[in-house]
Structure 1
């Protein structure tokens, strides 16, 4: 039998006839007319080469062939209904693993704000952080990750984006650092000469010799000595707490790390224009209920803790 030539609506009519045993009641159930149901029954008889429904004292009864089709037909139509129904997402029942590509900055800035609610609402689900790399947007396009946390630098591809917040920089030093005594009433703003007098740690994900702070310093005729480059903000903060190095990093990461490591937050003398930090996802997952739930969770967490 060529399925392309089969009107699947006829199977709905057959199911109604089997359930009601009456052309009249089948028409009422389907919101149709008796003549239309009778015409559909005629087509069904030609399709299957069987009378399917025959007259009986109380209406109509199925032939043996039709009776044999009752259960598989109900299963088939139930499957079609499930197939066509918009999927629902129940966080309390899911064991889905959401994969988010980000640096340790994104993890520090976002995860503490959502972890407790995530665990409470989706106790069997998980979040997997994928290390940020040059391939993350290809991975997002290929469906290997669900989301990317990234700055507002331009990206190409069929991606949706939601800005989560604007971010600025702060400088961290250990408590008892000698420069704190040298600031002499400068409050929490580091004088540029002190800033450039001490060695620095720079966090660089992909390497490179400079960043926005170095550009801002150069515009004023200054240069800092970068003594150490590392790819992780948390590592830089731990080393800063154990040395006289300075590290300048986004403020949300600093606020997570400073109180835990006994670090002092200061304003760098070279001010950089705040930048946007975004959540990105692919067009294919835009209407996915699970992805929508996690997006809202992240956005709500940022709003509450901003």
Structure 2
């Protein structure tokens, strides 16, 4: 190929097409019309002697040659952006912007009050908005700029979504402090619930899609056991309230259990089997990787999580 035939706009078009898989969306991302993107793609095909993208329905599917260029092209563009970025220091005190986050009510209850307080002190003109996980597909919402970041368990995401590990979230079992069945069995708070009791008592689970199973059921199936899931609710807080008012057990994140046990008459127990510990990650569109306000927001989320002690709760396999 003739490298002199390339210009920066062609590289930007290739990067946008690899991210968006659509001529229209790629043009919207970099400010070019659909005909201009199509013309640039034709030039790239000629220069590289490869189709680069083939149409499948409404999607542009990259060829192996195009896929091999994705990371080198993205890295090169980032280096160019860094080279031309203003040297003026970013000052959050002057930032006037609304950031939108998405996740479970776990975060709206435990993280957002502290995060909002920290950001109000540093950037008084910044507003925060938090959407529930049930709002929709993370990748689509990031692509459409409806959210700035999502706080979720591991997701199958396209390569234009960036992510970082926030913390691990081992499970604890919660029940009402006055649960008569557990009391008669002589199990004390903090102890391991007997397997028979764990499987026989009804369980409440948090489920945003209505499914009646989760990590705990997968772990039970591996040892040939099952539990009785009697109630599925869309929010962790609703699950906690259900355990208080009924005879339910619930497997919930340890960080959440520790918090609600200080406010509700809830007892915490250890599960009778190892349950894989989910990672909790933060996801955002890669176009914001090097944007100072977005970097600052991500740093504030990380620092708030550190302040809450979420990282110290544990990782690997719950006991």
- The TM-score, its normalising length taken from structure 1, stands at 0.67
Indicate the residue corresponding to 2:168 in structure 1.
166
Tell me how far apart the structure 2 counterparts of residues 114 and 220 of structure 1 sit (CA, whole Å). Answer: 41
The counterpart of 1:304, out of the listed 303, 307, 311, is 307
**What is the aligned partner in structure 1 of residue 102 from structure 2?**
101
Distance 1:239 1:87, change over 3 A: farther
> Structure 1 residues 84, 296: closer, same or farther in 2, change over 3 A?
closer
Contact kept in structure 2, 1:141 and 1:157, CA below 8 Å: no
Q: Distance in 1 between matches of 2:113 and 2:201?
A: 32
Q: Does the 8 Å contact 2:187/2:193 carry over to 1?
A: no
Q: Distance in 2 between matches of 1:281 and 1:148?
A: 7
Alignment of 1:236-275 (within 5 A): 236-275=239-278
What are structure 2's unaligned runs of at least 5 residues? 1-83, 310-319
C-alpha distance in 2 between matches for 1:130 and 1:87: 33
How far does residue 179 in structure 1 lie from its aligned partner after superposition? 3.2
Identify the match of residue 226 of structure 2 among 217, 223, 227: 223
Do the aligned partners of 2:212 and 2:232 also contact (CA within 8 Å) in 1? no
> 1:259 aligns to what SS in structure 2?
coil
For 1:74-133, what per-residue CA distance to the aligned partner results, in whole angstroms no more than 9, with x for missing partners? Answer: xxxxxxxxx984675432233311001112123334324423212221223221012224
| Cα 1:179–1:274 shift into 2, 3 Å | same
CA distance in structure 2 between the partners assigned to 1:113 and 1:105 by the alignment: 13
Partner residue in 2 for 1:142: 144
Structure 2 contact 116–128 (Cα < 8 Å) conserved: no
Q: Is residue 279 of structure 1 aligned with residue 288 of structure 2?
A: no
Cα distance, 1:161 vs structure 2: 1.0
CA contact (8 A) 1:113 1:302 kept: no
Equivalent position of 1:91 in the other structure: 92
Name the residue aligned to 1:118: 119
User: Post-superposition shift, 1:190?
Assistant: 0.7
CA shift, 1:153, in A, is 3.4
Give the Cα separation in 1 of the matches to 2:294 and 2:170.
28
> 1:259 offset after TM fit, Å?
1.2
Note the alpha carbon deviations across 1:44-80, whole angstroms, 9 max, x for none: xxxxxxxxxxxxxxxxxxxxxxxxxxxxxxxxxxxxx
> What residue ranges of structure 1 are gaps of 5+ in the alignment?
1-82
1:185 Cα offset (Å) = 5.3
Q: Under a length normalisation based on structure 2, what TM-score does the superposition of the two structures give?
A: 0.65
Aligned length: 224
- What does residue range 38-77 of structure 1 map to in structure 2 within 5 Å? none
What SS class does the counterpart of residue 250 from structure 2 fall into? strand
Deviation, structure 1 residue 213: 0.6
CA gap 1:270/1:153 in 2 versus in 1, 3 angstroms: farther
| Match in the other structure for 1:130 | 131
Greater C-alpha radius of gyration: 1
- Secondary structure at the aligned position of 1:140 is classed as helix
